[in-house]
Amino acid sequence: MHTLAKLNRGELKGVVRLQLSENLTTFPEAIFDLADSLEILDLSNNKLSVLPDDLSRLKKLRILFCSNNRFTELPEVLGRCQQLEMIGFKSNQIIRVSSAALPSLTRWLILTDNRIEQLPEDIGRLERIQKLALAGNRLTSLPDSIKNCHKLELIRLSANRLYAFPDVLLSLPRLAWLAFSGNPFCVERDSHDEFKTVQFGDLALHQVLGQGASGVISLATWQRNTFDFPDKVAVKVFKGEVTSDGYPEDELDACLAVGSHNNLVKPLAKVVDQDCSALVMELIPPHYTNLGQPPSLVSCTRDTFLAGLQFSLEKIAYIVEQVDRLVLHFCDKKVSHGDLYAHNILISEEGHVLFGDFGAASKYGNLSMDQQQGIEQIERRALGFFIDDMLSLCTEEDKANELYPSLKSRCLSSITLKQ
């Protein structure tokens, strides 16, 4: 984090990335002194409502974050920033998004948790867009021109006001990660009354094990163990507000709807408490580690991996076989996971995988057969990208293995699925 004082004293000359969070109400003029170097500007968590009309003076600006501010419309000056390709205005009060505010190079657009009722009719002109995050708005439909966004791979539409599933999405040739729960067209949530319930006071939370968009996972022990559960468990406490993927209540519903599977983290009980929602899960053994890392600003929709990570082709085939069976299980339960990524997978030394995080999951059993098949093809495409990522981790020598062409063929056939 940088400071306004250092900026004004000229101590940040030449920086490529600038982050300022000091309850700013106006855009600091001194930022323009960085025009020859600045590529990433993060002004999140301030009190800004406008940007300067000459923002395009930042001639190298590629990425702009202005989340948690007070914008009521997406600034049209953005459209004049010719190098801008990633725009993040999460958790503002944006009502209006005009076509003029969207630069033609846009690859990644984050407008989660605003008040947007409609998108520009010509959004299809954004031919490079790959990621579009729109959860937690007031959209009632999507522009038909979105069918021209042929590079779109991820879209989040949960927690909006869509009264019909947007069929136009089923024609997109690369769409692989889709979230749409919490809309009027969706099936009602199941209360899962048959599932075991405990009180929050029955548990004692200890250190944090991990956290994501929808909640925090902590190690827990029992104050009162009614059901003879293991002494140590994991507890995911859901955030109460809409997340980048949708409503936490939909995540809990989907997680319980898919039931048990050898490659899923086992849920044990749900926590009933008026102040919070939580899920008690089996504690994952410590020898399981993350298979992948989340996408970077560069990779956009694709996972990243630790430097030097490699697997034998036999191990990759075993991993793919498990995830393939899991996708079939999801289809059988009529639940789209929506976030089929290596960074949501834990792997043991032997290659056994455990899958979790249902934040982007959506139930679709109430939709038409054509829509159901289209959603399942989108999920299979995510599997294709996953296989492609896994194959990038094998050695050059392994590419001569007879397993390689069959896995590559499955990868390509899944990615190129057509309606």
Give the contacts of 374 (CB within 8 A, at least 6 positions apart): 167, 169, 170, 419
**Residue that the structure tokens 């605003």 belong to:** 114
Q: Which secondary-structure segment (H or E) carries 7?
A: helix 4-8
The H or E element containing residue 269 is strand 267-273
**305 to each of 78, 319, 351, how far by Cα in Å?**
32, 15, 16
> CA distances (Å), 393 to each of 40, 271, 385, in order?
30, 40, 13
Q: Which amino acid is at 303?
A: D
Annotated binding-site residue? 236: yes
Distances (CA, A) of 45 to 63, 67, 95: 16, 6, 19
Give the tokens for residue 101. Answer: 């505010």
**Helical packing angle, 369-391 and 403-415, nearest 10°:** 140
Angle between helices 369-391 and 313-333 (to 10 degrees): 160
Core vs surface per residue 202-240: b (16+ CB within 10 A) or e: bbeeeeeeeebbbbbbbebebeeeeeebeeebbbbbbbe
* Residues facing residue 355 across a β-bridge: 264, 345
Report the candidate in 91, 179, 234, 109 with the shortest Cα–Cα distance to residue 358.
179
For residue 154, give the nearest of 293, 339, 299 by alpha carbon.
339
Positions at the binding site: 236
Positions at the binding site for ATP: 236
